Amino acid sequence: MRRNLTDIDALKALAHPLRQQMFTHLNRHGPATSADLAAHFGADRGGTSYHLRQLARYNFIEEDRSVGRRKYWRAKPLDLRLPYASEDPDVSAAADAIGQQWMDQGRRDLAAYLSERESHGEFGEAAMHSFGNTTLTAAELKQFSEEYVAFLTRWHRDPATAAEGARPVTVLFNAFPTPS
C-alpha cells in the first residue's frame, strides 16, 4: 500500500533511530514482542514498548493477534514515499533524516554481505549487484520508478509466512537525476 509521508509527526516518529531499527527488524524478521526487541537492541523494555506504540500510532506497525497470548508487533506492508520537495523545512529535514538512515542501513548491509559472501552459499550465488544509467524525461523517470515499486510489491513476502528456506533480502533502489 502506497503511503506518501507528508505528516511531520509521522515523519518524526519514523526518524527516531531506535524506531527505525525496530521497524526494519519487524520488516525483515516478522512479528516480535517488545521484550524480544529490547533484548535484541540492548534497550530498555519500557522504552521499547513506548517506541512500538509510537510506530503503531502512525500506522507503521500493528499488533499481531494471531501469534499467541503475548503482545506481538508486526510491520505493515507499505510502500513508503519520502517527500524530498516540501515547502515545509521541517518536513524536508525529517524526510532527509529518514532517507539518510535508509541509505546508511543499505551500505551497512552491503558491506556486511560482501565481507561474508562466501558463507551465503546458494544465496550468494543468486545475489546480484548492478549499476546502470539511462536518459529519461521526468515523466519517464516517474513511470520507471512506479513500475519498479510495483515489481517489488509483487515479490513482497511476509517473513512470518514465507516459504521454508527463505531469507530476508535487502533491495536498494535509487533513481535520481545524475548531478552535473
Query: What is the C-alpha to C-alpha distance for residues 87 and 178, in angstroms, rounded to an integer?
Result: 23
pLDDT recorded at residue 176: 79
**What is the CATH number assigned to the segment(s) 1-135?**
1.10.10.10
| Spatial CA neighbour of 149 closest among 120, 179, 174, 116 | 174
pLDDT over 90 at 16, yes or no: yes
Q: Give the tens place of pLDDT for each residue, 126-146.
A: 888 888 899 999 999 999 999
Q: Of residues 116 and 38, which shows the higher confidence score?
A: 38
